[in-house]
Structure 1
Amino acid sequence: MKQNFTFLLLLFSTLMFSQEEDAWVYFNGKPNSQDFFNNPSLTLSQRSLDRRTAQNIALNISDAPLEITYINQVKASTGITVLAQSKWLNALHVRGTQTNITALKQLSYVDKVVFANKTLNVTSKKVSQNNIAAVKNKLETTIDYAYGNSANQIQMLNGQVLHQQNYTGSGKIIAVLDAGYPGVNTAEPFKRLRDNNLILGGYDYVNRSTNFYTGDDHGTLVLSTMGGYKENSLVGTAPDASYYLFITENDASENPVEESYWVEAAEQADAYGVDIITTSLGYFGFDNANYSHTYSDMNGTTNFITKGAEIAFSKGIIVLASAGNEGNQVENHVGSPGDGISVLTIGSVNAVKVKAPSSSIGPSFDNRIKPDVMAQGVAAVVANTTGGIGTANGTSFSCPIMAGMVACLWQAFPSKTNQEIRQMIIESADRYTTPDNNYGYGIPNFGSTLSVDVFQSSSNFSVYPNPTESNISFLFADETASVSIYSILGQKLIEKQITNQNPVLSVESLTSGLYFYTFKSGNLQKTGKIIKQ
């Protein structure tokens, strides 16, 4: 009997050490880093370098590429597969048996090995069985393909004030890190992006492919809340921003390698010179329960993806992340990278500003306010892969809605740093002085960040009545004038010559909303806004 027990013990030990595990292998240096500092433009675009210069951010060792000889030697090691790499964290994500991965510690340039299964880390405390269920990291959504109007999700943030001033994201670059973008290259609501060359590129890190118009449609829906445009149906919060589209989420499984793909994509986004990263992904539970995070990991410094997000912010990028949709679950706290100290984490409210029950809550484990701010995530208006306009629920949509407005705000204040823009948003929120674990600092007011009049007036020029239901009149000194009316996105809707004797312009044909006007009479030129009731 004793012999049988010994045999079973040996068999169990053999099986335990032969099954494949995931781990991060950290290096202890970058011996050829000076080559990078001598010529950083070999790996970082001029726009990336300019972003650092504008915010007084110096290059450092994390910007230098990984040592290629280290990577090659690890790849050549027995039974080791390299799945991802990070220059910022000077690490590789590897897969292999516990024995083969542990053997990498003997390499002189390896600083440490950290297993995704925390019980395998020698210095780790024994952790209790993790009962957090694996969740779809792209965050579950429910979709109702009924036609709607996207005005509310913009006006809730008072974002139309920025749009009225022509701040629609132009000149800003947003990187979207998600699960896939099918239909973005064909569907009508993305035609405006395509026609204006605002899709700058992308990559599928899961399949190592340059085709990013594939995968799960979650990213398509997400992108539509920012860059989608279909007259009278959907206007994104940043329709004139430029976009990179990265696939980092494998919808078929939930594994920590997706955190490593995310960091890889963030590094590439930095190298391209993006201003904003938005991600509607959240990591807490995995298929292998031994890999799952615990609430104690949500401290802004532990998880691989959160470390990457914090480094991205240190490079001058604003990082936004969905809070998560686990508000009704036993473990209802914000996941990673939303636990990041600098990450702007977005929760979800409905159309009348009431928190969605599913929206994950704070605080972070180290007792910081999370989520940071809120936006509409209940019945958010989106476009699908065939161009249909419908609604969807979840922080997956409140996050990009907010990201688009961040692009518009930064366009309005181009000299501000990412830290200053982030603080402006938080300070504008309606619960700034009384934050809590459900709403964070509340719903931002992007209109309050600008000091603009409803319409322009002077002693020799005025526009009235404004708002108006039918006609608008112009008071001016010369005999004739030319007036044009534009949509908030710059589409000319009305053009007319008026006279001093008959200075009335009919706007009855316009739907209710906000419009621009241009006025030219002799040497007098004016621009302003009209509110059609």
Structure 2
Amino acid sequence: MASDRFTDFANTGQTRWILAALLLVSLIVPGQAQTRKYLVLLSDKANTPYTVDRPEQFLSQRSILRRQRQNIAVQTRDLPVDPAYMTQLQQAGAKIWFPSRWFNAVLIEASDAVLATVRQLPFVRGIEFNRALSGARRSAEAEPVETNASRKFGNVAALSYGASQSQVTQIGADKMHDAGYHGEGMLIGVLDAGYLNADRVGFLKPLFDEKRILATYDFVKKETSVYEDDSHGMSCLSAIAATSDGMLYGTAYKASFILLRTEDAATESRVEEANWLFGAEYADSAGVDVISSSLGYTQFDDAGSNYTYANMDGKTALCTRAAQIATQTGMVVCVAAGNEGNSAWRYISAPSDAVSVLAVGAVTSAGTRASFSSIGPTADLRLKPDLVARGQGTVIGAPDGRVASGDGTSFATPLLAGLAAGFWQANPRLTAAQVTAALRRSGSQFTTPDVRLGYGIPDFSRAQTVAETLKSLAVYPVPFSDLEPLTVSWGELDANTALDATLTDLAGRVLWQTRTTPPGLAAFTVPDIGLSAGMYVLTLVAGENKRSLKVIKR
């Protein structure tokens, strides 16, 4: 579900590892009992036929390589749901929509009677939020025909001339292009409400001519086509991918893309958060490098499902938890902060409250905050938004082929996602966490951040300077926390160099230690070992190289 006050524009050959997750569902026919959708949480993966030693069973080669480059191990969380549990859910009468590897859960559609049976199954741990994620439906024909997308996304004014230069130069993407980085070889996953006419408009024609749309999927309708629904995603895509001489150029217009529809613009329900989760898992499996998502969640059609500001704490909202896991698989995740700055809510929306995502706010062409751009901090007082880009008068593409302008953090987000892709292309040895950190540190107000613009406007050239420092020894964040664990990378070390790490308290007592021999970048994350707030000493030894430094837990 998208934030219902977005003021953005909108008009109303996949491989085995993807197909295995996309299950068919039967339509409800008139006369059947009312059904709702529930995310059923499962107890374990004890008898799954999948193993972490054979990730090629459920991850693409590109996804596996992305992890290996960043020294990210495949773990139990990555394993698919046990097929036997899926079968038993079906035998209980539930209609299966999608499974979730990360949450070990299955989205089902069920009547009250079937749900009661499902709850009694021995492997069912519970129901997400202990409630339905969508309202009752009597039949497929009962779904609303007209859309309320304009309420979510707003409108756009047409332009008769090209004016995209200022939004590109504002974040230094022109310098990135001059240096030869346009997103070549990078894979960007876009999660949105639809991509109306993306396969027909001239400014996206090279994407299709060069076969750089690698996959599409619609999690709302369970189909592969995404080009006949809402156009919000198409306009967001244009901010990254458009090529129209003298009119509009995206920030990473030579990248490849996966287009995923997770949002139903006609409704506001938590099932769209579940769709966001499935979309992020799909992106992970496909080997996506950067996720761009201009969707936010606070209020729903069912007011009883509404979030409060206290829920914007980085660990409550379903999509927020999904977004955080997505970053831990080695993807850079860019999400819109929201357009509630002028409303009673004011604050950021989920999943932009996730610790490790880049929450993107909006500024004008002059670099001042757009009044509608949502502000921080998070409910647990972390800085958000992270960065800002042009979100007022952003030059984008319209579904009729025109070049147009739009307002919203929705359009600032893909600008920054394209910058992230090109910057990572220029610095392939960096991890996703380092790319995120470098872009934050490149912000125009990194030394004086605030809750309105975060670290400010990023810049490619400044990020390049930061990247040089990260290629040596980098330990971040400072301070670290349970939500944002301590990460170490030592770019000076050669691949397959043994690295010993020891964490002690100030009295010298060993609290944790490990040895890693990474095949690529020497990097690791210190696991959660229940540390109290305070200062610790981290010692790193690699051959004759030894470093000791103090780190702080908050």
Q: What residue is the counterpart of 2:393 in the other structure?
A: 379
Query: Matched residues in 2 for 1:242 and 1:159: separation?
Result: 18
Q: Among 347, 350, 353, which residue is 2:364 paired with?
A: 350
SS in 2 for 1:111: strand
Name the structure 1 match of 2:334: 320
Among candidates 324, 341, 346, match of residue 355 of structure 2: 341
Instruction: Return 40-49 or 141-150, whichever deviates more.
Output: 141-150
Q: Which amino acid aligns with 1:213?
A: Y
1:437: how far off? 1.2
Cα deviation for residue 84 of structure 1 reads 3.2
Counterpart in 1 of 2:64?
49
2-side partners of 1:204 and 1:293: how far apart? 26
Instruction: Give per-residue Cα distances to partners, 1:222-250, cap 9 Å, x unaligned.
Output: 00000001001001000111100001101
Which residue is equivalent to 2:156?
A: 143
**After the TM superposition, which of the residue ranges 38-47 and 251-260 deviates more from structure 2?**
38-47
For the 8 Å contact 1:83–1:257, the answer to whether it is kept is no
Residue 101 of structure 1: how far off its partner (Å)? 3.0
Distance change (3 Å), C-alpha of 1:52 and 1:376: same
Counterpart in 2 of 1:528? none
Q: Which residue of 2 aligns with 1:398?
A: 412
Tell me the equivalent position of 1:85: 99
8 Å contact 1:339–1:364 — kept in the other structure?
A: yes
Q: Is the 8 A contact 2:201 2:399 kept in 1?
A: yes
Deviates more, 1:19-28 or 1:83-92: 19-28
1:299 shift after superposition: 0.9
SS in 2 for 1:174: strand
Q: Contact 2:172–2:460 (CA<8 Å) still a contact in 1?
A: yes
Q: How far is the alpha carbon of 1:31 from its aligned partner?
A: 2.6
In structure 2, what residue type is equivalent to 1:243? F
C-alpha displacement at 1:65, in angstroms? Answer: 0.7
Other-structure match for 2:509? none
Which AA in structure 1 matches 2:339? N
Is the Cα–Cα contact under 8 Å of residues 139 and 394 in structure 1 kept in the other structure?
no
Q: Specify whether residues 321 and 239 from structure 1 end up closer, same or farther in structure 2 by C-alpha distance, changes over 3 A only.
A: same
Matches for 1:59-458 after TM superposition, within 5 Å: 59-78=74-93, 80-96=94-110, 100-115=114-129, 117=131, 139-147=152-160, 148-450=162-464
Cα contact 2:348–2:375 (8 A) shared by 1: yes
Separation in 1 of the partners of 2:383 and 2:280?
24
Q: Alpha-carbon deviation of 1:341?
A: 0.6
SS in 1 for 2:343: coil
What's the TM-score once normalised by structure 1's chain length? 0.75
- The amino acid across from 2:158 in the alignment is Y
The offset of 1:359, in angstroms, is: 0.8
The corresponding residue for 2:486 is none
Distance, in Å, in 2 between the alignment partners of 1:231 and 1:225 is 14
Where do 1:17-28 residues align within 5 Å?
A: 22-28=37-43
User: How far 1:385 sits from its partner (Å)?
Assistant: 1.4
Change (3 A) 1:329 1:118: farther
Alpha carbons of structure 1 residues 225 and 443: separation in structure 2 relative to 1, 3 Å: same
Aligned-pair distance for 1:72? 2.2
- Structure 1 position 30 matched with structure 2 position 45: yes
Is the 2:48–2:83 Cα contact (8 Å) retained in structure 1?
no
Q: Is the 8 A contact 1:154 1:160 kept in 2?
A: yes
Query: Secondary structure of 2:99's match?
Result: strand
Pairs aligned (count):
420
Letter of the 1:306 counterpart: T
Counterpart contact for 2:360–2:409, Cα < 8 Å: yes
2:377 partner SS: coil
Please tell me whether the aligned partners of residues 249 and 258 of structure 1 are also in contact (alpha carbons under 8 angstroms): yes
- Quote the Cα distance in structure 1 between the aligned partners of 2:217 and 2:132: 31
Aligned residue in 2 for 1:510: none
Native 8 Å contact 1:344 1:373 kept in 2: yes
Gaps of 5+ in 1: 1-17, 120-134, 453-533
The residue identity in structure 1 corresponding to 2:66 is: R
Are the counterparts in 2 of residues 102 and 113 from structure 1 also a CA contact under 8 Å? Answer: no
How high is the TM-score relative to the length of structure 2?
A: 0.72
Q: What is the SS of the residue equivalent to 1:37?
A: coil
**Matched residue type, 2:295:** L
- Partner AA of 2:359 in structure 1: T
Deviations 1:252-298 (A, max 9, x none): 21111111111111111111111011100111111111112111211
Using the alignment, how far apart are the partners of 2:69 and 2:151 within structure 1?
A: 33
1:447 CA drift (Å): 1.6
In 2: Cα distance, 1:450 partner to 1:38 partner? 36
- In structure 2, how many angstroms separate the alpha carbons of the residues matched to 1:279 and 1:229? 21
Q: Deviations over 1:344-388 (max 9, x none)?
A: 100001100111111111111111111110000001001111211
Q: Secondary structure at the match of 1:35?
A: coil
Alpha-carbon displacement from aligned partner over 1:9-41 (angstroms, at most 9, x marks no partner): xxxxxxxxx975543221111133463334221
Using the alignment, how far apart are the partners of 1:172 and 1:138 within structure 2?
34
* AA partner of residue 227 (structure 2): Y
- How far apart in 2 are the matches of 1:334 and 1:145? 29
The residue type equivalent to 1:50 in the other structure is L
Given that 1:118 and 1:291 are in contact with CA atoms closer than 8 Å, whether structure 2 keeps it comes out as no
1:403 CA drift (Å): 0.3
Q: Is the 8 A contact 2:41 2:104 kept in 1?
A: yes
Match of 1:176, SS state, is strand
After TM superposition, give the deviation of residue 116 of structure 1 in Å. Answer: 5.8
SS at match of 1:73: helix
SS at match of 1:450: helix
User: In terms of Rg, which structure is larger?
Assistant: 1
Q: 1:314 is matched by which residue type in structure 2? A: Q
Change (3 A) 1:225 1:269: same
In structure 2, relative to structure 1, the CA distance for the partners of 1:295 and 1:94 (3 Å cut) is farther
**Displacement of 1:142 after TM fit?**
2.7
1:305-363 Cα offsets, whole Å, 9 max, x none, are 11111111110001110011111111121111111011110000110011111111111
Q: Within the alignment, does 1:58 sit opposite 2:73 as a pair?
A: yes
Cα 1:103/1:138, change in 2 over 3 Å: farther
